[in-house]
Structure 1
């Protein structure tokens, strides 16, 4: 684990470390977080750990129970469905607004990101695609809503981790389909068609919801 940078407080370092581990499901839902153990593992005192845990509680990522301490939240199917519904609303609106304000430079950067994903998919590097997709979605939303939507989209994304084995991007057929969807959305942004960009984004996110809920259900 990397040590905190010179410009980063110890509390920020602990928060960022735990946030990354929770978001990537290195620390899965239902895992207890003992402040003393976290402090020892990250090489800090217990004070910044407690501050970081309070921030994670405000983020809705951990909960406190009497006599049990902090535990990483394991969302129910109902909560997971709500998570994707919120994502669809925010990211869909971001795509619609982005179509009206995107610059040539921003569009070129999105196409470059898409081209990188296409190349990774062609080479079978599916494990890289999930994070790249996340960044592309956030970039579109931040272009559409730089004042509020972008920050909200990032916060919502951070509020629920996607376990590495649950990503659609690991399935070659789904990966190709997702790339086609991304291309269609970028083309809608390119011609300034906000309604189409929003519809594509909403359907794209809702498909992810159906996939995740199906994976959690009975086989």
Structure 2
């Protein structure tokens, strides 16, 4: 029997760079590469089995998004968020989440509400299991999922993309520098209020709950960053 020849499609440089971008993005936002860490480009190439060109394209995208800094003659470093970036990011989050809430309430089905409630239920059960590193990262992911899912219910992809970009710095800071456990307990109560106001379909009630939650979260995130810088 003749050997079967399988012709596989060639993966172009752009597709490789997209894949590398996604991998590095996830590693950075999950805290695998800490703030200020110098990326070993040779090691990344070897581990991913890629050449320098797709890696450079991926790093350029990450630099444009503010996740890495490329310093000539020195190397590529994971960005350490600044207080100004945190404050600006939370400002954008508040503007978006409060702006879209009327559309969310109009479009939200019982199934959508149940989905949001389940995220919070899962988040609460994780918190009760203890705040180990992996659990903590998962908590931050689920907190992010809840707010992102809420924004996505408005059905505006452009706004969702802006929201995703704005939330990067607060998310990275919370993952890398761990907010205090008592702040997580307060967040649990704040999420419960947001869910209750959504259940009542009270737009103004949801807005006020979101503002209170985001302002408190901004403060705890800034405190976590301050503690990191001073220790």
TM-score (ref. length: structure 2): 0.79
Answer with 129-138 or 109-118: which moved more.
109-118
State the match for 2:78 in structure 1: 72
Q: Residues 32 and 69 of structure 1 are in contact (CA less than 8 Å); yes or no, is this contact kept in structure 2?
A: yes
Write the deviation string for residues 129-154 of structure 1: whole angstroms up to 9, x where unpaired: 22111101100011124332222212
Write the deviation string for residues 150-195 of structure 1: whole angstroms up to 9, x where unpaired: 2221222235513535344x61x33332122112111212222112
Q: How many residues align?
A: 211
State the match for 2:5 in structure 1: none
1:47 matched to 2:53? The reply is yes
CA distance in 2 between partners of 1:121 and 1:61 (Å): 28
Q: Residues 130 and 167 of structure 1 are in contact (CA less than 8 Å); yes or no, is this contact kept in structure 2?
A: no
CA distance in 1 between partners of 2:41 and 2:129 (Å): 42
Superposed counterparts of 1:198-209, under 5 Å = 198-209=207-218
Q: CA deviation at 1:96?
A: 4.4
What are the ranges of 5 or more consecutive residues in structure 1 without an aligned counterpart? 1-5
Secondary structure of 2:77's partner? strand
State the match for 2:4 in structure 1: none
Equivalent residue in structure 2 for 1:105, among 75, 98, 111: 111
Equivalent residue in structure 2 for 1:119, among 116, 125, 129: 125
State the match for 1:158 in structure 2: 168
1:12 matched to 2:18? The reply is yes
CA distance in 2 between partners of 1:120 and 1:136 (Å): 14
State the match for 2:190 in structure 1: 181
TM-score (ref. length: structure 1): 0.83
Secondary structure of 1:178's partner? helix
Q: CA deviation at 1:34?
A: 4.5
CA distance change for structure 1 residues 115 and 138 in 2, over 3 Å: closer, same or farther? same
State the match for 1:27 in structure 2: 33
State the match for 1:214 in structure 2: 223
The structure that has the greater radius of gyration is 2
